[in-house]
């Protein structure tokens, strides 16, 4: 990692910039994929499976038999671990969700309230490839299960034999998702946006993916289908002091770097000595990783920045707006209370990001690329619409009506005023 020592405030924006993303080629490819899905439906998805996954599919929908077979391919030890994660995630998300809100009488005769209603149709995209993210199934399907969405559709790419990763299928079934389809990349997003003979269209699409999936989701939003959040490459920022264990810090940085070559990891510290030790540990641990090539590419976009004090580290962290923020300092709780912007915060030397990625209970679908400034991570609230209600009695229209009449008249909206006036006239 490149070490930057005591930079000026004027250098902050440059040093905290994220890797630029090539968009034009991605745009052209995704537009083409979407048009093919709109025009050819299932046939386009079969062609994409053959072209991108070398899979000759006879059906897009995963059968009950395939789900049952997948369960037998997952070890009992892994099933137990997944169930542990399931229980923690369900417990946390259920506790944080409010379905019914109190009824408020804003004035005599006028009552207002709010209620959470499940979005009718949601789509979950689960990446495949070299790291099939079955953990993402938990992060998306459990909130959907709690919300009670009427239809939950899951799409994921296959291997060359035409099979979705068995752990993905097992986890989906554990979470009650049975409408599972063999479709990957931008084609899967297009199918959930516009619908095909096999894959139904949905109202909102969730899930991570590469630049093609991300762009397809952006275009789905333009077509009237909601998405969980804008996305960029995954990232972590670590704030560490002189007493932090450099082995822990290096491990946290590499855990994020192995996600992809475009991931970014940043270390903020007030200790040059720690930075040098962390760099040594990064080199040592990198050599042992199965995905060391990917992690090494990510480290090219990453840096360690030495600042004057931990307060500066907090300010620089807020300026960066990290997806994941790890605070590994003696006063970690105090620093965490000062953070204003982050997707998810991990406090103390033993709280590695991996806990949140898999099983602590929080969600790992988080805003990246600085979107933590204005977006929240996925929760049950992401899967519902919050609908407001109001009710006026005869007393209520008499009490509030005159004020509304005056306001409507001042805006020149006579029909608005009249809707109140005709009622007041009949209750007097």
Nearest to 320, CA basis, from 220, 411, 425, 239: 239
| Per-residue pLDDT reduced to its tens digit, 280-299 | 999 999 999 999 999 999 99
Considering the chain, what is the average pLDDT of its residues?
A: 96
Q: Delimit the domains of the chain by residue range.
A: 24-227, 232-370, 398-427
Quick one: which H or E segment has residue 36?
helix 24-40
Alpha carbon 56 to its chain centroid, in Å, reads 31
Nearest to 120, CA basis, from 204, 229, 188: 204
Cα-Cα-Cα-Cα torsion 155, 161, 166, 171, nearest 10 degrees, comes to 0
Note the pLDDT of residue 130: 66
Active site residue 323: yes
For residues 193 and 225, the answer to whether their CB atoms sit within 8 Å is: yes
Quick one: which H or E segment has residue 121?
strand 121-125
Nearest to 341, CA basis, from 193, 237, 426, 246: 237
Find out whether 247 is annotated in a ligand binding site. Answer: no
**Could you give the CA distance from residue 12 to residue 339 in angstroms, rounded to a whole number?**
17
Q: Is the dihedral of CA 205, 18, 33, 167 positive or negative?
A: negative
Find out whether 93 is annotated in a ligand binding site. Answer: no
Side-chain half-sphere of 396: how many Cα atoms within 13 Å? 11
**Could you give the CA distance from residue 271 to residue 268 in angstroms, rounded to a whole number?**
9
Q: Any idea which residue has 């103390």 for tokens?
A: 348
For residues 187 and 48, the answer to whether their CB atoms sit within 8 Å is: yes
Cα-Cα-Cα-Cα torsion 297, 5, 250, 328, nearest 10 degrees, comes to -140
Catalytic residue (one of 235, 258, 323, 353): 323
- What's domain 232-370's architecture? 3-Layer(aba) Sandwich (3.40)
Nearest to 208, CA basis, from 169, 260, 159, 160: 260
**Could you give the CA distance from residue 372 to residue 427 in angstroms, rounded to a whole number?**
51
| Per-residue pLDDT reduced to its tens digit, 184-237 | 999 999 999 999 999 999 999 999 988 899 999 999 999 999 999 988 889 999
**Could you give the CA distance from residue 118 to residue 384 in angstroms, rounded to a whole number?**
4
Find out whether 416 is annotated in a ligand binding site. Answer: yes
Catalytic residue (one of 324, 334, 364, 405): 324
Q: Any idea which residue has 């495949």 for tokens?
A: 128
For residues 172 and 137, the answer to whether their CB atoms sit within 8 Å is: yes
**Could you give the CA distance from residue 104 to residue 93 in angstroms, rounded to a whole number?**
26
> Would you state the structure tokens that stand for residue 13, as one six-digit string?
């924006």
| Per-residue pLDDT reduced to its tens digit, 320-360 | 999 999 999 999 999 999 999 999 999 999 999 999 999 99
Nearest to 31, CA basis, from 190, 182, 183, 184: 190
Find out whether 161 is annotated in a ligand binding site. Answer: no
Note the pLDDT of residue 132: 80
| Per-residue pLDDT reduced to its tens digit, 296-325 | 999 998 999 999 999 999 999 999 999 999
Range 66-71 average pLDDT: 96
Nearest to 358, CA basis, from 182, 156, 131: 131
**Could you give the CA distance from residue 191 to residue 188 in angstroms, rounded to a whole number?**
5
Q: Is 283 left (phi over 0), alpha (psi -120 to 50) or beta?
A: alpha
| Per-residue pLDDT reduced to its tens digit, 3-25 | 999 999 999 999 999 877 667 78
CATH number for the region 24-227 comes to 3.40.50.1980
- With 80 as the cut, is the pLDDT of residue 253 above it? yes
Range 148-161 average pLDDT: 96
**Is 232-370 the same fold as 24-227?**
yes
Range 53-80 average pLDDT: 96
- With vertex at residue 354, the alpha carbon angle to CA 242 and CA 348, rounded to the nearest 5 degrees, is 35
**Could you give the CA distance from residue 1 to residue 6 in angstroms, rounded to a whole number?**
16
Note the pLDDT of residue 301: 85
| Per-residue pLDDT reduced to its tens digit, 129-144 | 667 889 999 999 999 9
Find out whether 411 is annotated in a ligand binding site. Answer: yes
> Would you state the structure tokens that stand for residue 92, as one six-digit string?
């946390």
Alpha helix ranges (H) inside 202-352: 211-222, 246-257, 272-286, 292-299, 310-320, 332-338
Q: Any idea which residue has 């822990």 for tokens?
A: 248
| Per-residue pLDDT reduced to its tens digit, 355-411 | 999 999 999 999 999 999 999 999 999 999 999 999 999 999 999 999 999 999 999
**Could you give the CA distance from residue 384 to residue 232 in angstroms, rounded to a whole number?**
24
pTM: 0.94
Phi, psi of 419 (to 5 degrees): -60, -30
Nearest to 387, CA basis, from 97, 95, 101, 96: 101
């Amino acid at each position: 990692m490149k070490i930057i020592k005591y930079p000026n405030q004027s250098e902050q924006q440059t040093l905290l910039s994220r890797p630029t993303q090539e968009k034009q080629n991605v745009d052209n490819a995704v537009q083409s994929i979407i048009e093919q899905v709109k025009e050819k439906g299932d046939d386009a998805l079969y062609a994409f499976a053959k072209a991108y996954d070398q899979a000759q599919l006879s059906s897009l929908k995963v059968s009950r038999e395939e789900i049952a077979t997948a369960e037998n391919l997952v070890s009992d030890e892994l099933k137990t671990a997944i169930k542990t994660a399931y229980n923690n995630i369900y417990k946390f998300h259920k506790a944080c969700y409010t379905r019914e809100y109190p009824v408020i009488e804003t004035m005599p005769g006028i009552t207002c309230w709010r209620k959470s209603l499940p979005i009718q149709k949601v789509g979950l995209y689960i990446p495949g490839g070299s790291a099939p993210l079955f953990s993402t199934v938990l992060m998306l399907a459990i909130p959907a299960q709690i919300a009670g969405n009427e239809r939950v559709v899951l799409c994921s790419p296959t291997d060359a034999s035409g099979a979705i990763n068995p752990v993905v299928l097992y986890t989906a079934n554990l979470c009650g998702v049975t409408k599972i389809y063999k479709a990957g990349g931008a084609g899967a997003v297009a199918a959930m946006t516009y619908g095909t003979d096999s894959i139904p269209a949905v109202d909102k699409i969730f899930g991570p993916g590469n630049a093609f999936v991300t762009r397809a989701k952006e275009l789905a939003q333009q077509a009237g289908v909601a998405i969980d959040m804008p996305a960029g490459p995954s990232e972590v920022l670590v704030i560490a002091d002189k007493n932090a264990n450099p082995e822990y810090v290096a491990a946290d940085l590499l855990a994020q770097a192995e996600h992809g070559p475009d991931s970014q990891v940043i270390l903020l510290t007030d200790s040059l000595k720690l930075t040098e030790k962390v760099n040594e540990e990064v080199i040592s641990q990198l050599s042992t990783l199965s995905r060391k090539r990917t992690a090494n590419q990510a480290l090219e976009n990453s840096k360690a920045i030495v600042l004057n004090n931990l307060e500066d580290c907090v300010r620089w962290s807020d300026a960066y707006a990290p997806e994941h923020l790890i605070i590994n300092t003696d006063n970690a709780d105090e620093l965490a209370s000062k953070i204003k912007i982050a997707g998810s915060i991990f406090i103390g030397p033993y709280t590695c990001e991996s806990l949140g990625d898999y099983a602590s209970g929080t969600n790992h679908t988080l805003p990246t690329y600085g979107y933590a400034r204005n977006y929240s991570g996925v929760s049950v609230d992401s899967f519902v619409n919050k609908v407001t209600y109001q009710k006026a009695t005869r007393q209520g229209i008499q009490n509030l009506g005159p004020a509304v009449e005056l306001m409507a008249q001042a805006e020149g909206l006579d029909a608005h005023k009249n809707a109140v006036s005709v009622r007041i006239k009949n209750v007097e």
